[in-house]
Chain A
């Protein structure tokens, strides 16, 4: 039973608000809220997956948006070829992302620091240009998806409320999965490598294979977000995996709190709601958002979740 700290109460309130959002929308008729929050939840899922390698594993991947694109294109291309069954599309999206993560991870995890960042970035940009070159699937202009993934009548993704709840369910499921993972033996190894890689090798862990497995799990999870995003927008384009999108995902994780279970969700909500609100006030909203992010990164090392945690005095040792 989690303690009733201000942080836990706020997070519980956010989760309940997300659960009740469609009810609010039904009463007020603000459909755009449902669209906005569907997008937020999908990107939060991508951020959760990035947090697994970045926050918990200390692997600074700068190409995470590539998996969004690969998951999205798997759905888009299959739909374009007349295969609209989600039972085919979604496993294909997951498998394609997992395979891509396996290849990128196998190569990039042999490097560290700046090299790792640059290699992951380079691979994501390669995926971006590859997608731009797919003339049959719209090239630079992207590909419109005429039919959303079909699940044999089990769920209709064109129903905005049903789709919202599916995304929310998958987000909660993935957060739960990450929670199990990071507290398992596997998670201890991943955290140990982040903390002190040299020592992990010295006490007898073959670190590379665990990091690679973690990298593939995160990539696959992000591929799922990609499949959802393609269905949410009925459209895929190379810009889904442009490097600025990878940057956005990093900002969401850092803003919410690296290595925090709910941090990526909070960070994504904060970033996208701010973006939405500020862009309504001025078209130069980035001038306000930029310094705001800088302040949070400079003064709250644990991101927003760090601020929430600091509301409760810590038990001090020594």
Chain B
């Protein structure tokens, strides 16, 4: 497919007796927001970890922007413009919010064997970092230590860090996890604005958010893709309703 930015072909990953990814095939088109949903243990995070390079697949292929990245280490994928955020917040807690984002900028600003100039005075790092913080609504928190921010702000900071490298594609692992309704609504609004600029692969439990945001949805159950399509198709898919949505709707 010509306009696919990310193509995943029969990706498989086994942990002992568990097939966490069972011949997963999907593609993400340039400019779309593609959501991956599935019950707990469906292998969503395993999938994203293989895409970002933290895990090596046992079989299958990953192509990004036309090139095969299956064997590339994490930092090379990152350099190609593939950025990931974490389900469990993973920040530099003893650094300021601005430092956190500036590090993400620095990661994409050439090598860091620069020993002399004060990095905190470099406009080349600080300005994009500040812009990314403003972007996610954390401008006023720039100089706070990351450890002093709230949970919702941590999620926003995660997003700012992912954005800081001006990525071509964002891999977002449950950005709404653990958020209250207000923070969630803010995050949905932010992602809606973001998807105008950057291709997004979103893993999310919050169904309301997924159906509000996604252009296409892939449903994963026990490591296998059971359906893929537009939100309306997924809603109507009997298999999906049985495996997944049924219980959700029963709850809500």
Chain A residues at the B interface, C-beta cutoff of 8 Å: 180-181, 183-189, 191-192, 195-196, 198-206, 210, 213, 317-318
Contact = CB atoms under 8 A, between A and B. Distances in A.
Contacts of B145: 317
Interface in B67-120: 73-75, 78-79, 83-84, 86, 90-95, 99, 102-104, 106-108, 112-120
B193 interface: no
A53 to B, nearest CB: 15
B165 A204 contact: yes
Interface residues of B, number: 40
A185, A186, A198, A206 interface centre (most CB from chain B within 10 Å) = A185
Contacts of A196: 90-93
Nearest to B141: A317
B156 interface: no
Nearest to B110: A185
B75 A317 contact: no
A202 B144 contact: no
Given A188-B103, A204-B79, 9 more contacts: A184-B117, A185-B112, A185-B114, A196-B90, A196-B92, A199-B92, A202-B54, A202-B74, A204-B78
Nearest to B93: A195
A1 B149 CA distance: 29
Interface in B104-154: 104, 106-108, 112-120, 122, 125, 144-145, 148-149
A49 B125 CA distance: 28
Given A180-B115, A188-B99, A188-B112, A199 B90 contact: yes
Nearest to A179: B118
A204 B148 CA distance: 25
Given A203-B103, A204-B74, A204-B108, A185 B119 contact: yes
A187 B99 CA distance: 12
A204 B110 CA distance: 11
18 contacts: A181-B115, A183-B120, A184-B117, A184-B119, A185-B114, A185-B122, A186-B115, A187-B115, A188-B103, A189-B112, A191-B95, A199-B86, A199-B91, A202-B84, A202-B86, A202-B90, A203-B83, A317-B148
B168 to A, nearest CB: 13
A192 B115 contact: no
B161 A318 contact: no
A185 B102 CA distance: 10
A203 B115 contact: no
Interface of B: 52, 54, 73-75, 78-79, 83-84, 86, 90-95, 99, 102-104, 106-108, 112-120, 122, 125, 144-145, 148-149, 161, 165
A186 B114 contact: yes
B112 A210 contact: yes
Given A201-B74, A203-B165, A318-B144, A185 B90 contact: no
Query: What 10 A-B pairs are tightest by C-beta distance, nearest first?
Result: A204-B78, A204-B107, A317-B148, A195-B92, A185-B114, A318-B148, A185-B112, A185-B119, A203-B107, A317-B144
A192 B103 contact: yes
Given A202-B74, A203-B165, A183 B118 contact: yes
Given A203-B165, A204-B79, A185 B117 contact: yes
Contacts of B116: 180, 184
A195 B78 contact: no
A203 B119 contact: no
B104 A213 contact: no
B184 to A, nearest CB: 22
B115 A184 contact: yes
Contacts of A189: 103, 106, 112
Contacts of A184: 114-119
B54 A186 contact: no
A272 B205 CA distance: 59
B124 to A, nearest CB: 10
Nearest to B145: A317
A192 B75 contact: no
B91, B106, B161 interface centre (most CB from chain A within 10 Å) = B106
A126 B11 CA distance: 47
